[in-house]
Amino acid sequence: MITIQAESNVPTDYGVYKIIAFSESDRNWMPHIVLIAKGTDFSKTVNVRIHSECITGEVFHSQKCECGQQLDAAMEFMQKNGGVIVYLRQEGRNIGLINKLKAYALQEKGLDTVSANLELGLPADDRDFGIAIDILKILGIKSVNLMTNNPEKIKIIEKSSEIEFNKRIPLIVESNKNSKEYLDTKKKIFGHLLGREKN
């Protein structure tokens, strides 16, 4: 079972967040992380973003995806409206950075993100969003407005017996010439809700 290992208030470009590290052991150097905006009231419906690690997009500003821009937008939104970001250490849809770069190399040869993973003998998406449910339960969150375009994240909340899904908050980032195929694949293969309508 994951538990809280450490927490501290951290000033960011968007304001102060309480950052909490969750893992099974305090010796884990790659814990899951929660960012809580100041003033967030857990007794009410909480704005929540479940976000998977993407070092290429968030640290190196890769244009192949919209992950970095999504994280920035979520941090800004939560500071203004209150809320929580659950940051899962599941790089590359949980195939890891090395395999992700191998998949990138195959994409340069014409494969889409899903085909590249399958060519490597890996799942199209191996993430476990159930970890986020465990974290939300530990925090005592009972009802959420989920900031997502991914229907699988909505399903995992709806299946939870202890957390109510109230509504979806779209998180749309415009594509560029390098990310268009990536976003098209998300919509076509995974059914991501990339329109601007609210569900």
List active site positions.
125, 127
Distances (CA, A) of 61 to 43, 102, 135: 36, 18, 28
* 3-state helix, strand and coil shares in percent for the chain, rounded to the nearest 5: 35, 25, 40
What is the enclosing helix (H) or strand (E) of 116? helix 113-119
Half-sphere exposure of 28 (CA within 13 A, CB side): 16
| Cα–Cα distance measured from residue 52 to residue 186, given in angstroms and rounded to the nearest whole number | 15
CA neighbor of 78 nearest in space, from 16, 20, 136: 16
What is the enclosing helix (H) or strand (E) of 130? helix 130-139
